Amino acid sequence: MKNLSFFCLFLSFIAPLHSDDAALIRLLLEEKLDQRTFAFADVVHAATGKKVIPLDAQNAAHQRITHAVREALTTSMKELSQPDSPVRQQRRINEASRFFEDLLRQKIQRVPGLRCEFPLTQQGAQQRSGYPDLKITDVASGTIAYLDPKLIEARALDSTFRTFYYEPKNGTAKINDDALHLLCGIEHDGRQGAWTFQRFHLVDLSTLRVRLKAEFQASNADLYRQP
């Protein structure tokens, strides 16, 4: 819990222990946060108070949700691999993610007994950016699953570049329930403008460990402000 308290301190979830900026910076540097890993489930709980529920293959509600996700992924990949796919009209593969989000939501929403929507923020607003992308509800049990589609080039599966981000924010946070947290990694062949989607990986994030990237930053408005 000591690690998490410093994590929350850095992200302003608790009041600063020092009013002096230099003292606070030294405190953070001494903790070597960039060299540690944190359980994603602990990060979510510390930031939101909500639990990350482990996926249980024997749980009927979990089975219904994952079956629907797999079916929706299979058909969505086929549709968005076609020559007339809107994905192929995009300049960059990152711009194609929203098509998967929209199509998956539509397909899962049509499954009897399930509801799929874009999760609302704590303030009740719809916000497409930020984790997670979709919220699935099993109506009979009340079980909730957050789903985050990610596009990945097949040959980059072993890459060490950061591809998953979670930035806790008060007010605009979209994790408002105890829930399953699922990520679907969707492989593509890397053919610019003619992408074909080949297979997917459904990942249970309850066991994921994450790293904190602490950085001091400024915008162009900060850098080039007129005197």
How far, in Å, CA of 146 to CA of 75, rounded?
20
Q: How many CB atoms lie within 10 A of CB 195?
A: 20
Greater confidence (44 vs 165) lies with 44
* 135 phi/psi in degrees, rounded to 5: -125, 125
Sheet with 143-153, strands from edge to edge, namely 114-117, 134-138, 143-153, 180-188, 197-204
Cis amide linkage into residue 132, ω under 30° from 0: yes
pLDDT band at 226 (very low <50, low <70, confident <90, very high): low
Summary mean pLDDT of the chain: 85
Structure-block tokens of residue 196:
């074909």
Provide the percentage of residues in the chain whose pLDDT is more than 70.
89
CB contact at 8 A, 104 and 116 = yes
Does this model's pTM top 0.85? My answer is no
Greater confidence (37 vs 106) lies with 106
pLDDT digits (tens, 9 = 90+) for 4-31: 544 554 544 444 444 577 787 777 777 7
pLDDT digits (tens, 9 = 90+) for 58-111: 999 999 999 999 999 999 999 999 999 998 888 888 888 899 999 999 999 999
- pLDDT for 172 equals 72
> Would you call 145 helix, strand, or coil by DSSP?
strand
Q: Is the pLDDT of residue 146 over 80?
A: yes
